[in-house]
Amino acid sequence: MTKKEIERAFIKYVKEYQDLNGVIPHVFDQPPTALEFLQKCVHPNRPALIKGAFDHWPANELWTDEYLRMKMKDQKITVAVTPNGQADAVTYDPKTDQEYFVMPHEEQMTFDSFLTHLGSSSQQQKEQGTPSSSSSPAYYISLQNGSLPLEYSDLEDDIDPDIAWCSEALGCQPDAVNFWFGDARSVTSLHKDPYENCYAVLRGEKTFILFPPSEYMCLHESTYPSAIYTPSKAGFDLTPSPGIQVPWIPVDPLRPDFARYPRFKYAKPMVITVRQGEMLYLPSLWFHHVSQAGENGVIAVNYWYDMNYQHAMFPSMGLTRRLVSEIIDGQPTLDMASDDDDDQ
């Protein structure tokens, strides 16, 4: 089979999935039972918007800035700081004329200092117009792998420790619960995770642009040398991390460059805005790009449940990556085992 023939077979596969499923998510007007959740979401690996999933959480009423400041006291938290709100993203460095996978500078600060930074950044955005025109750094609480028990244990009583119908459906407890707080400047670039994700928005709104695992071939994954933002007198420097290569998706679905990424024309995004009080079920291995908006910042909590690795979808993704990246695009191996791109 030639590369062209393999590509044509993938285009058919992408279209067949699209024809069968469309791009409209299921909406639950009230939380599903475990069985409904399994049947409509987990088994078919389809996203859903869920209303009323956490109406009973005290956090809905309690989590004002004043309350959060008071509860968090002098507890140090980890904040991702970037010049442009783009952490963990493929970024062009004009100094070296090269693209890197760039990680944020992580700063330890009190919650109070975080709110002060976020407040002055929002003020600047209001004065200067669009979020991207701001010249001050972007601050985003986006630490993962269980940030809630690690750094926000004083807030744990204000929410549920798990999502009951999801735990019942999957037969396990969440692997990690994360706390997110940012503003319109911070955007999360396209990536996937090996988790079933229940994502609750408590303040503001988040827009998820989603692509199913079947659309992997449209996203032009490639490997990039890794670098990290380091604060400098002039703002930030991009410091390369020698010897580290990271596989990542370079396509920006908000400004797609079809000349560089022509297969993106076959992709059909599912766009879901999750408003305050709503929850998104984001199935494992779906690619997601996340942006946010809210006058007073955007707060969310999400629950990551390990995906079922016995499901054929996991090795199928490995096979697809090998065929597309290695055979069609002629790139070196994207080794799934050493692939920690999946934890954004």
Ligand X SMILES: O=C(O)CCC(=O)C(=O)O
Contact between 287 and ligand X by CB under 6 A: the answer reads: no
Size of residue set near ligand X by CB under 6 A: 11
Q: Which is nearer to ligand X, 329 or 342 (CB)?
A: 342
CB atoms within 10 A of CB 317: 18
Quick note: the x/- pattern for ligand X over 105-144, rule CB under 6 A, is -------------------------------------x--
- Choices 150-158, 159-167, 192-200, 312-320 (CB under 6 A): range interacting with ligand X: 192-200
Length of the chain as a residue count: 344
- Choices 11-19, 60-68, 151-159, 191-199 (CB under 6 A): range interacting with ligand X: 191-199
Contact between 305 and ligand X by CB under 6 A: the answer reads: no
Q: Which is nearer to ligand X, 86 or 214 (CB)?
A: 86
Given phi > 0 = left and psi -120 to 50 = alpha, else beta, which region is 145? Answer: left
CA 191 to chain centroid, in Å, comes to: 7
Q: Which is nearer to ligand X, 102 or 323 (CB)?
A: 102
Task: Say which DSSP state 21 is in.
Answer: H
Task: Say which DSSP state 267 is in.
Answer: -
CB 51 within 8 A of CB 28: yes
- For residue 54, which amino acid is it? F
- Interface residue with ligand X, options 158, 193, 215, 221 (CB under 6 A): 193
Contact between 199 and ligand X by CB under 6 A: the answer reads: yes
Least distance (Å) from ligand X to the CB of residue 15?
27
Please count the CA atoms within 13 angstroms of the CA of 196 that sit on its side-chain side: 26
Give me the residue label for tokens 């002060």. Answer: 116
- Interface residue with ligand X, options 82, 197, 226, 284 (CB under 6 A): 197
Least distance (Å) from ligand X to the CB of residue 129?
22
Contact between 177 and ligand X by CB under 6 A: the answer reads: no
Among residues 89, 326, 287, 249, which one has the least CA distance to residue 334? 326
Burial label for 179, CB within 10 Å (0-12, 13-18, 19+), is buried
Contact set with ligand X (CB under 6 A)? 142, 180, 188, 193, 197, 199, 206, 288, 290, 302, 344
